[in-house]
Amino acid sequence: MGSRVTIHMAASLDGFIARRDGSVDWLETVSEFGGGDSLDPEFVEGFLNTIDCYVMGSRTYETALDFEARGLGWPYGDKPVFVLTTRDLPRRRGTVEFYSGGLAGFVNDHLRPDFRGIWFVGGGAVSGDCLRLGLADEIRYSILPVLIGDGIRFFEKLDRDVPLHLTEVKAYKTGMVELCYAVRPSGPAPDASSRGPHTSAGLPSGVKE
């Protein structure tokens, strides 16, 4: 079964996914873009159906638990959720599993054989690891119409350039813009004859079409 690892997060225009203290109050933006699309429920449902499991760092999990405790719901439905942690964290639902250890082995040997749509949903530390280890096939960046000046970066501690290939752009009525990029393998540029926005050239090796 072909699999695809996607990193998805919502971030401020200046590239932060949370304030330094972890708060995400700024995600509630108030703006309107008349020419934008609306997120109709059918589209959202179809989109969610392409996700088979979620992977997250422990601090993101703790934020999700806190949201749930405040009555804001659990955003991952009944899909499996893999939480990376070395700690003994509360397990409030059967769909949650904890993992500690090497991320590359976990993704390639444990997740890829069993799941097609593998979504990394943060935070910055885990997303950075995912890219540094060459595990991500795709990045989805939902840019919110706000600047917050400081905070936790979308990708923490990247140690090299990561070439990308834009595959999709969408603007929504809320002023949110979603960018989707394929992560291109590092190394020599692909043959010029195979470049182009609608070819599969440059897709990473893990993406099987």
Interface of this chain with ligand NAP, residues 89 to 108, rule: CB under 6 A: 100-101, 103
Bond into 123 cis (ω within 30): yes
Least Å distance between CB 55 and ligand NAP?
A: 10
Q: Residue 175, Cβ neighbours under 10 Å: how many?
A: 16
Q: Is 124 in the site for ligand NAP (CB under 6 A)?
A: yes
Indicate the residue among 6 and 63 with the shorter CB distance to ligand NAP: 63
122 binds ligand NAP (CB under 6 A): yes
Q: Is 6 in the site for ligand NAP (CB under 6 A)?
A: no
> How far apart are the C-alpha atoms of 2 and 205, rounded to whole Å?
10
- For position 3 contacting ligand NAP by CB under 6 A, the verdict is no
Q: Write the CB contacts of 59 (distance below 8 Å, at least 6 apart in sequence).
A: 22, 123, 125
Q: What is the pattern of x (binds ligand NAP, CB under 6 A) and - over residues 147-186?
A: -----x---x------------------------------
Rg over alpha carbons for the chain, rounded to the nearest Å, is 17
Q: What's the one-letter identity of residue 132?
A: R
Cβ–Cβ under 8 Å, residues 121 and 60: yes
Question: Which residue's CB is nearer to ligand NAP, number 24 or number 39?
Answer: 24
Supply the minimum distance, in Å, between the C-beta of residue 182 and ligand NAP: 20
Q: In this structure, what token pair is assigned to residue 171? A: 């603007």
Rounded CA-CA distance 64/61 in Å is 5
Residues paired with 56 in a beta bridge: 83
CB of 85 or CB of 95, closer to ligand NAP: 85
Contact set with ligand NAP (CB under 6 A)? 9-11, 17-18, 22, 24, 56-60, 63, 84-87, 100-101, 103, 121-126, 152, 156
